[in-house]
Amino acid sequence: MREPQQLLREKGLAVTVQRMAVLRAVRRNPHAPADVVAEAVRGEIGTISKQAVYDSLSLLSEKGLLRRIQPAGSAARYETRVGDNHHHLVCRDCGKMVDVDCALGETPCLHAADDAGFEIDEAEVVYWGRCPDCQKE
């Protein structure tokens, strides 16, 4: 697992304590929303502004160091597992999210039957259901 500092350099981004801390925070908290990331960062470096958190998360997602997931009905979440086309399983009751590998192998597992002239760059899959804990209730 590469050092945050090195990752930022490789992408040609300025290396700041905030960005490194955000990267580490997401690593420690997979599928965390922005406010949880902010808190985790504060635990590490003291303070960070809300804006810096949003800026970092957006930039890092754009550059491919993070992946942003935006399930219906909840705030955006982030993870460091990028570039492997995996999908997510979300609990309708508690919002818990877990990774699932693509059912059909490693390659992008979907192609639209009729693309209507669109230039498609991603097929996003979200499975909705209830997690084991919530089923008990």
Closer residue to DNA in complex, CB, 54/130: 54
Shortest distance, position 14 Cβ to a second copy, whole Å: 26
In the sheet with 67-69, reading across from the earlier edge strand, the strands are: 32-33, 77-79, 67-69
From DNA, a second copy, none, interface partner of 36 (C-beta below 5 to 8 A by class): none
Q: Which of residues 30-89 bind DNA (CB under 7 A)?
A: 33-35, 47-52, 54-56, 58, 70, 75-76
List of residues 6+ apart from 135 with CB closer than 8 A: none
Q: Is 59 in the site for a second copy (CB under 8 A)?
A: no
Q: How far apart are the C-alpha atoms of 109 and 102, rounded to whole Å?
A: 7
Reported as half-sphere exposure (CB side, CA atoms, 13 A), residue 68 has a value of 17
Q: Which residues are near a second copy by CB under 8 A?
A: 68, 70, 72-73, 76, 87, 89, 91-92, 98, 100-103, 110-132, 135
